[in-house]
């Protein structure tokens, strides 16, 4: 079994028939979930095969780790990053890789950029260590496109507060941390220019989605001409 998984992962995805791996990133309250949903609906509508997933989570092991992380009050950052990458490996091997091989658009709410920002920048886990774990678990695999939603910190905070439910530790963060996370994702967009697009997420859901769809049409014209 271990061998099958290893071999499966070692197979590089043939570029001529693989699907597309699209990730959404950004701080809390920027509207990621809504845009993930709108994009999935639009792609399904034009006849593409679509699967929506999230991190931490996705696969069976990943969802259990998500639950564990949510229920744990305080966790050592190294322990946390190990669990996140264990979840990511499971997600990749069992779900993302097979779906991409089957030609799906896999839309993922957060991926390893979130680890760089939350564990790296915020919790000071060394970026070198994070990248070693990345290499060990998913190798050179990268999203085809990462949409980073960028929003004024005060607006994000207001949105999170208006949800009333404090979902996890990050919902209780202060202004300074929100600002750090926002800058972290801006930095990610500079570092990974080859795969990221930073979108100003201020305005109506419809307006933001039309910006995303324009990017899609430009990048995947032959698949989205509908
Ligand atoms: P969502 O509520 O957006 O699904 O994210 C769950 C939290 O997990 C998120 N909290 N906030 N804001 C950020 C956190 N997270 C990490 O800390 N590292 C990671 O690698 C991922 C994927 C998520």
Is 83 a domain residue? yes
Residue 82 lies in a domain: yes
Q: Please report the pLDDT score of residue 173 as a whole number.
A: 74
pTM comes to 0.92
Estimate to the nearest angstrom the gap between the alpha carbon of 62 and the chain centroid.
14
- Domain presence at residue 22: yes
Q: What is the pLDDT of residues 103-158, one digit of tens each?
A: 999 999 999 999 999 999 999 999 999 999 999 999 999 999 999 999 999 999 99
For residue range 3-42, what is the model confidence (pLDDT) as tens digits?
Answer: 555 555 555 555 556 799 999 999 999 999 999 999 999 9
The pLDDT score that the predictor gives to residue 27 is: 97
Residue 152, domain CATH: 3.40.50.300
Residues near 53 by Cβ (< 8 Å), separated by ≥ 6? 91, 95, 96, 106, 107, 108, 109
What pLDDT is attached to residue 16? Answer: 55
Residue 209 covered by a domain: no
Kindly report each contact of residues 205-211 with a partner whose C-beta sits within 8 Å and lies 24 or more positions away, as own/partner.
205/31, 205/34, 205/35, 205/38, 208/31, 208/35, 208/149, 209/35, 209/38, 209/39, 209/42
Report if residue 219 sits inside a domain. no
54 close to ligand 1 (CB < 6 Angstrom): yes
Evaluate whether residue 63 is within a structural domain.
yes
Q: Is the CB of 185 under 6 A from ligand 1?
A: no
Q: How many domains does the chain have?
A: 1
Question: Which residue from 89, 170, 174 has its CB within 8 A of the most atoms of ligand 1, so it is best to mutate?
Answer: 170
Q: Kindly report the protein residue whose alpha carbon is nearest to atom 12 of ligand 1.
A: 28
Residue 136 lies in a domain: yes
Q: What is the mean pLDDT of residues 52-68?
A: 94
* Residue 215 belongs to a domain: no
Out of 13-17, 59-63, 90-94, 215-219, which region has the weakest mean confidence (pLDDT)? 13-17
Q: Give residue 101's domain range.
A: 2-199
Helices (H), the chain: 2-10, 32-45, 60-71, 77-91, 97-101, 112-114, 127-138, 153-162, 175-191, 205-219, 221-224
Residues 160-207 have pLDDT tens digits of: 888 866 555 655 678 899 999 999 999 999 999 999 999 999 999 999
């Amino acid at each position: 079994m271990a061998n099958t998984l290893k071999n499966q992962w070692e197979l590089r995805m043939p570029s001529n028939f693989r699907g597309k791996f699209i990730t959404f990133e950004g701080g809390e309250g920027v509207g990621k979930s809504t845009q993930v949903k709108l994009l999935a609906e639009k792609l399904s509508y034009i006849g593409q095969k679509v699967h929506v997933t999230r991190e931490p989570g996705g696969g069976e092991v990943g969802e259990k780790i998500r639950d564990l992380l949510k229920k744990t009050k305080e966790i050592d950052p190294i322990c946390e990053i190990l669990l996140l990458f264990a979840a990511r490996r499971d997600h990749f091997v069992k779900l993302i890789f097979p779906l991409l091989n089957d030609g799906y658009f896999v839309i993922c709410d957060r991926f390893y950029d979130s680890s760089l920002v939350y564990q790296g920048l915020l919790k000071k886990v060394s970026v070198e260590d994070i990248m070693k774990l990345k290499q060990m678990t998913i190798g050179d695999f990268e999203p085809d496109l990462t949409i980073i939603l960028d929003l004024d910190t005060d607006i994000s905070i207001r949105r999170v507060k208006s949800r009333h439910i404090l979902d996890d530790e990050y919902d209780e963060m202060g202004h300074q941390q929100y600002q750090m996370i926002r800058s972290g994702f801006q930095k990610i967009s500079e570092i990974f220019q080859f795969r990221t697009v930073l979108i100003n997420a201020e305005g109506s859901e419809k307006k933001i989605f039309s910006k995303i769809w324009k990017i899609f049409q430009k990048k995947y014209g032959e698949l989205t001409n509908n």
